[in-house]
Structure 1
């Protein structure tokens, strides 16, 4: 995922680029590999997940969590439902519903990711928020 630098020339290209970053990271994640999300995350990322009592703050804390479940996530297939990307200069907000299928079961989560263009012209996740939603 070393292609985090944006070459997008217009807003539609940038929206597609942000979506592609998430899709690349999800493909790895669904095979138990969190490296795509680790690479995309900023040093000061904030991560909120209903599995935790408190939010995680900082890339180090997020990486420790991801490494504790490395190899344990196995998703047979998934859908990103109605992804939307909103843009504002050096910030992009991606929101979608994540629908995953594993062992004849389906689960669905809301996801919001906030990306920021950093000083090296790379889009990094500064905030992730997952929440449950009914199937």
Structure 2
């Protein structure tokens, strides 16, 4: 149950680029649908096994490989739920066999309610499929967050 809102002030160069952008946004939204139902398989499939790095708001260092995500994925699997989420203003910028998806994500979950700026760097790999090779999830305006509600709580 995702909600969408768009205030686009830009546009894609042509129908082909728009179709590729819609495909990449669809990959991400499909992974998010599963994610917010405690199902990690969407991101397991979307994140590159060949080349992957990750920055997260609750981690102090960059994760260097897909395999490093195992502990985070185990925390989420079966535990994270959200009745709805909102992807705002998704935009895909293209390079040679690469694409950068940026958007804002808003979700009220059973574990933590945080608003994120999301950056997903996609690359087309040898199988001609798009995979995320870098992911960054950062809190929108962290100075406005009351982190005291998290004391003693295990969050994703």
Superposition TM-score tier, normalisation by shorter sequence? 0.7 to 0.9
Q: Aligned partners of 2:128, 2:39: CA distance in 1, in Å? A: 25
Q: Distance in 2 between matches of 1:64 and 1:39?
A: 16
Which structure shows the higher strand fraction? Answer: 1
CA contact (8 A) 1:38 1:63 kept: no
TM-score (norm: length of structure 1): 0.86
**1:40 correspondence with 2:49:** no
Q: What are the within-5 Å matches in structure 2 for residues 88-99 of structure 1?
A: 88-99=95-106
Which of the numbers 84, 89, 100 marks the counterpart of 2:107?
100
Q: Which residue of 2 aligns with 1:116?
A: 123
Q: Give the direction of change, closer, same or farther, for the CA distance of 1:92–1:65 in structure 2 (3 Å limit).
A: same
CA distance in 2, matches of 1:24, 1:129: 18
1:1-135 aligned at under 5 Å gives the runs 10-43=16-49, 44-102=51-109, 106-134=113-141
Deviations 1:32-60 (A, max 9, x none): 11110111111221010011111111111
Q: CA deviation at 1:122?
A: 0.8
Please state how far the C-alpha of 1:114 moved relative to its aligned partner: 0.3
Shift of 1:106: 4.8
Unaligned runs of 5+ in 1: 1-8
Moved more, 76-85 or 57-66: 57-66
Q: Hey, what's the Cα distance between the residues in 1 that align with 2:131 and 2:95?
A: 15
- Deviating runs (4+, > 6 A) in structure 1? none
Q: State the Cα RMSD in Å.
A: 1.7
**Larger Rg, first or second structure (1 or 2):** 2
Question: Residue 46 of structure 2 contacts residue 131 of structure 2 at CA under 8 Å; is this kept in 1?
Answer: yes
